[in-house]
Amino acid sequence: MSTLSSPPAIKLAGLLPPEGSWRSCFSYHPFDIELAKAEGIYLHDTQGRRYIDASGGPMAINIGHGDARMKAALNAQFDRYAYAHPSLANRARAELSEALVSLAPASLNSVYLCSGGSEVVESAIKLARQYHALTGSPGKFKVVSCYESYHGMTLATMSLAGNPAYRKTFEPVMSNWPHMAQYSEIHMPEGMDREAWGLQCAQELERVLYFCNPATVAAFIATPHGSGADYGLVPPGSYWREIRRICEQHNVLLIADEVVTGFGRTGKWFAMEHFQVEPDLLLLAKGISSANLPLAAMLVSDKVNQPFLEDRGYFLHGYTHQGHPMACAAGLATLNILREDGLVEHAAAMSPRLFAARDKLMAHPTVADVRGWGLFMALELVESKDRREYFGMEKQAEYLFQALAFENGLALYGTLYGPRRSPAVRRGLPIMISPPLCIQPAQIDDLLQRLDTTLSQWEERLLG
């Protein structure tokens, strides 16, 4: 992916050759822009150029970069101790757990901490299986997930992923667990009510359970707003309420993967609040520490906790860095800053400003959809709106989009470019706009203007 097919009219950021100090970094292919400093919503490179962190890293930066309160909290924890021996009580862990429970839905009252999204999903799979083993259903081991979903990069989390692009190379993965179609509006019959359609889509879970035998299913996992081609599409409440009902009926645990949507991203602390549906396990990462340190949390419902409280078993799991005091301090500081600055409410208030650009963006020939909630906006980019398909690999369209965005002062998260993109992705390609939640109205306008310019230049290069 070193050169573009047509000569660049403007100088574009290139991919970094594996030379010099970069030579020792395994499988490393970033752009040749070196980060020097990050502040608020901005990233600064070593050449003195400034970029808006338009996707908040990989949808992970919820408070602004470089917050002095974060620095003070980390310093204070370091002055006490940086690591806690696993057999000693660690106050930072207790305080963070208590703070998370105080924010969470009523039935989620205990917290298991780990270091990242993949780890927390993996932990949830194990907890779901052990819960059923302890409550008289040891035959329940499968986890149903959605086609095209993404829940992490470990072998077990890839078993959940429905996108062959991620798993093909590593097959056989842990297990070929059942998948179902996620909520999508692409085949919604004209004139049908969304609530009715949501109900119909959720009932696919009933069919999947019937065919794979519900007595073998431990859990269903999904993100609140879909994945893959329909990433960012918010289902109606009927969808999640029906999923909850079906899970209940078949003694299947409901796992909400809120690794992306937690901590104000959607205008509420947790996205499942929009649907008023309480999962059995709520998984959080990324924004939990605003990526200042690696941290993730699994919020466990009273129901799932019960057999463990009754001493019927001990969760057979653990990591060296689980509940790491420095990471917990980063988590606590993040929650305090979100609260002190009212950033969850701010995200809700800023949302209309971001989505006001929908019509202007949709006017572009390559923008098939603009969707999302709060300060999370996904653009579905296509080569042709009629065919609703993305550009062929040879066009290097994702790379070009990101490179042009950098030229226009926007740092975007490139999700599926290059070898990761699957031929199975027949729809458009989602591009995420999810800036730090502290973004101000004028900065939103600036971001949107730069995005609009990037789209125009991209179209000029690809469509002529």
List contacts with ligand PLP (CB under 6 A).
58, 116-118, 121, 150-152, 223, 257, 259-260, 285
Tokens 């692409």 correspond to what residue? 186
Cβ nearer to ligand PLP, comparing 99 with 271: 271
Cβ nearer to ligand PLP, comparing 409 with 430: 430
Q: How far is the CB of 166 from ligand PLP (least distance, A)?
A: 11
Rounding to the nearest 10 degrees, give the CA dihedral for residues 101, 103, 108, 110. Answer: -10
Q: How far is the CB of 109 from ligand PLP (least distance, A)?
A: 23
| Closest residue to ligand PLP: CB criterion | 117
Cβ nearer to ligand PLP, comparing 173 with 455: 173
Q: How far is the CB of 228 from ligand PLP (least distance, A)?
A: 11
- Residue burial 166-205, b: 16+ Cβ < 10 Å; e: rest: bbeeeeebeeebbbbebbbeeebeeeeeeeebbbbbbebb
Beta 217-222 vs 253-257: how paired, if at all? Answer: parallel
Cβ nearer to ligand PLP, comparing 155 with 349: 155
Q: How far is the CB of 294 from ligand PLP (least distance, A)?
A: 8
**218, 142 Cβ separation under 8 angstroms:** yes
Cβ nearer to ligand PLP, comparing 163 with 238: 163
Query: What are the φ and ψ backbone dihedral angles of 400, each rounded to 5 degrees?
Result: -60, -40
Q: How far is the CB of 382 from ligand PLP (least distance, A)?
A: 22
Q: Element (H or E) spanning 256, and its range?
A: strand 253-257
**183, 146 Cβ separation under 8 angstroms:** no
Q: How far is the CB of 185 from ligand PLP (least distance, A)?
A: 20
Q: Distance between CA atoms of 156 and 175, rounded to whole angstroms?
A: 8
Show the CA angle centred on residue 131, arms to residues 128 and 136, nearest 5°: 130
- Left (φ > 0), alpha (ψ -120 to 50) or beta: where does 20 sit? left
- Residue burial 310-321, b: 16+ Cβ < 10 Å; e: rest: eeeeeeeeeeeb
Q: How far is the CB of 60 from ligand PLP (least distance, A)?
A: 8
Cβ nearer to ligand PLP, comparing 140 with 151: 151
DSSP for 324-387, please give it: -HHHHHHHHHHHHHHHHTTHHHHHHHHHHHHHTTHHHHHTSTTEEEEEEETTEEEEEE-SBTTT
DSSP label at 52? E
Q: How far is the CB of 448 from ligand PLP (least distance, A)?
A: 24
Q: Distance between CA atoms of 107 and 126, rounded to whole angstroms?
A: 20
Cβ nearer to ligand PLP, comparing 67 with 257: 257
Q: The tokens of 450 are what?
A: 């730069």
Cβ nearer to ligand PLP, comparing 379 with 416: 416
Q: Distance between CA atoms of 159 and 176, rounded to whole angstroms?
A: 6
Cβ nearer to ligand PLP, comparing 21 with 27: 27
Q: How far is the CB of 48 from ligand PLP (least distance, A)?
A: 31
Cβ nearer to ligand PLP, comparing 144 with 444: 144
**388, 428 Cβ separation under 8 angstroms:** yes
Cβ nearer to ligand PLP, comparing 63 with 260: 260
Q: How far is the CB of 190 from ligand PLP (least distance, A)?
A: 31
The beta strand positions in 54-153, using DSSP E, are 108-114, 142-146
Give me the sheet containing 142-146, strands edge to edge: 108-114, 296-301, 281-284, 253-257, 217-222, 142-146, 179-180
Helix pair angle (204-212, 194-202), 10° resolution = 10
Q: How far is the CB of 309 from ligand PLP (least distance, A)?
A: 28
Cβ nearer to ligand PLP, comparing 257 with 383: 257
**150, 119 Cβ separation under 8 angstroms:** no
Q: How far is the CB of 223 from ligand PLP (least distance, A)?
A: 5
